[in-house]
Structure 1
Amino acid sequence: MTSRFYNPVETRFGWGSLLELADITEHQSVALVTFPEARALGLVQRIEDLLGERLVYVIEDVQPNPDVAQLRNTYERFWREAGDCQVVVAVGGGSAIDTAKALIVGTETGSFDELLTLLATGQPFTPARSKVLIAAPTTAGTGSEVTPWATIWDSLSQKKYSLHLDCTWPKVAIIDPQLMLTVPASVTVSTGLDALSHALESIWNINGNAVSDTFAVAAIEDILECLPLLRHDLCNPELRSRMALAALKAGMAFSNTKTALAHSISYEMTLRYGLPHGIACSFTLPLVLGMAWGHDAARDRTLQRVFGTDVHHAQRQLREFLHNLDVKTEFTDYGVTAVEAEKMVQFAMQGARGKNFIGSQAA
Structure 2
Amino acid sequence: MSACFHNPVSTVFGAGSLARVAELCTGKVTLVTFPEAAQLGLVERVRGLLGERLVCVIDTVQPNPDVAWLRDVHERFWAEHGDCDSVFALGGGSAIDTAKALIVGTQSGSFDELLELLASGKPFTPARHKPLIAAPTTAGTGSEVTPWATLWDSARQKKYSLHLACTWPQVALIDPQLMLSVPGRVTVSTGLDALSHALEAIWNHNANPISDTFAVSAIEDILDCLPQLQQDLANPELRARMALAALKAGMAFSNTKTALAHSISYEMTLRHGLPHGIACSFTLPMVLGLAWGRDGERDRTLQKVFGPDLASAQQRLRGFLHRLGVHTEFEDYGVTAAEAEAMIDEAMQGARGRNFIGSQAA
Sort the TM-score into its range (normalised by shorter chain).
over 0.9
The amino acid across from 1:11 in the alignment is T
Residue identity opposite 2:118 in structure 1: L
What is aligned with 1:15?
15
Q: Could you say what secondary structure the match of 2:350 adopts?
A: coil
Q: Provide the C-alpha distance between the structure 2 equivalents of 1:40 and 1:362, rounded to a whole number of angstroms.
A: 49
Unaligned runs of 5+ in 2: none
Amino acid at match of 1:21: V
Equivalent in the alignment of 1:137: 136
Taking structure 2 as the reference length, the TM-score comes to 0.99
- Please say if 1:118 is aligned against 2:96: no
Amino acid at match of 2:21: L
Letter in 2 for 1:157: R
Q: Which aligned segments of 4 or more residues in structure 1 are displaced greater than 3 angstroms?
A: none
Q: Secondary structure at the match of 1:160?
A: strand
Q: Secondary structure at the match of 1:69?
A: helix
Aligned to 1:224: 223
**2:308 aligns to what?**
309
- Root-mean-square deviation (CA, aligned residues, Å) is 0.6
Partner of 1:293 in structure 2?
Answer: 292
- Deviation for aligned residue 1:303: 0.1
| Correspondences of 1:19-98 after superposition (within 5 Å) | 19-26=19-26, 28-98=27-97
Q: Secondary structure at the match of 1:197?
A: helix
CA distance in 2, matches of 1:147, 1:170: 7
Distance of 1:352 and 1:47 partners within structure 2: 38
The C-alpha deviation readout for 1:251-292, integer Å capped at 9, x for no partner, is 000000000000000000000000000000000000000000
| Separation in 2, partners of 1:262, 1:288 | 7
Q: How many residues are aligned here? A: 362
Which residue identity lines up with residue 290 of structure 1 in the other structure? G
1:109 and 2:105 are equivalent in the alignment:
no
The offset of 1:246, in angstroms, is 0.1
Structure 1 residue runs without a partner (length 5+):
none
- Residues 124 and 164, structure 1, Cα contact 8 Å, conserved in 2: no
Q: Matches of 2:233 and 2:16 in 1, distance apart? A: 17
Q: Which amino acid aligns with 1:292?
A: A
1:255 aligns to what SS in structure 2? helix
Q: How do 1:158-197 residues align onto structure 2 when only pairs under 5 Å count?
A: 158-197=157-196
Matched, 1:273 2:266: no
Contact persistence 1:62–1:99 (CA under 8 A): yes
| 1:122 shift after superposition | 1.2
CA distance in 2, matches of 1:127, 1:23: 27
Shift of 1:109: 1.1
Distance 1:265 1:362 in 2: 15
Does the 8 Å contact 2:106/2:114 carry over to 1? yes
Separation in structure 2 between the aligned mates of residue 351 and residue 81 of structure 1, nearest angstrom = 38
* Residues 25 and 133, structure 2, Cα contact 8 Å, conserved in 1: no
Distance 1:23 1:212 in 2: 30
Shift of 1:24: 1.4
Give the whole-Å Cα distance in 1 for the aligned partners of 2:272 and 2:330: 11
Query: Secondary structure, in 3 states, of the residue corresponding to 1:327?
Result: coil
* Identity within the alignment, %: 76
Report the TM-score, using the length of structure 1 for normalisation. 0.99
Aligned to 2:152, what secondary structure does the other structure show? strand
Secondary structure of 2:138's aligned partner: coil
CA contact (8 A) 2:29 2:55 kept: yes
Give the distance between the partners of 1:224 and 1:25, measured in 2 at CA: 35
- How far apart are 1:362 and its partner, in Å? 4.1
For the residues of structure 2 that align with 1:176 and 1:25, how far apart are their CA atoms? 16
The secondary structure found in structure 1 opposite 2:36 is helix
Whichever residue aligns with residue 164 of structure 1, its letter is: H
Q: 1:3 offset after TM fit, Å?
A: 1.0
Following the alignment from structure 1 to structure 2, what is the Cα–Cα distance between the partners of residues 25 and 99? 18
Letter in 2 for 1:221: E
C-alpha separation in 2, matches of 1:87 and 1:58: 12
Tell me, in whole angstroms, the C-alpha distance in 1 between the residues paired with 2:84 and 2:288: 45
Distance 2:25 2:171 in 1: 10
Tell me the distance in 1 between the aligned counterparts of 2:25 and 2:135.
13
| C-alpha separation in 2, matches of 1:229 and 1:174 | 25
The letter of the residue matching 1:306 is V
Aligned pairs (5 A) from 1:253-268: 253-268=252-267
Q: Secondary structure at the match of 1:213?
A: helix
Instruction: State the Cα distance separating 1:123 from its structure 2 match.
Output: 1.5
Q: In structure 2, what residue type is equivalent to 1:216?
A: A
The question of whether the paired residues in 1 share the 8 Å contact of 2:140 and 2:243 is answered with yes
Secondary structure (helix, strand or coil) at the match of 1:109 reads coil
Task: For 2:31, give the aligned amino acid.
Answer: L
SS in 1 for 2:87: strand
What is residue 203 of structure 2 aligned with on the other side? Answer: 204
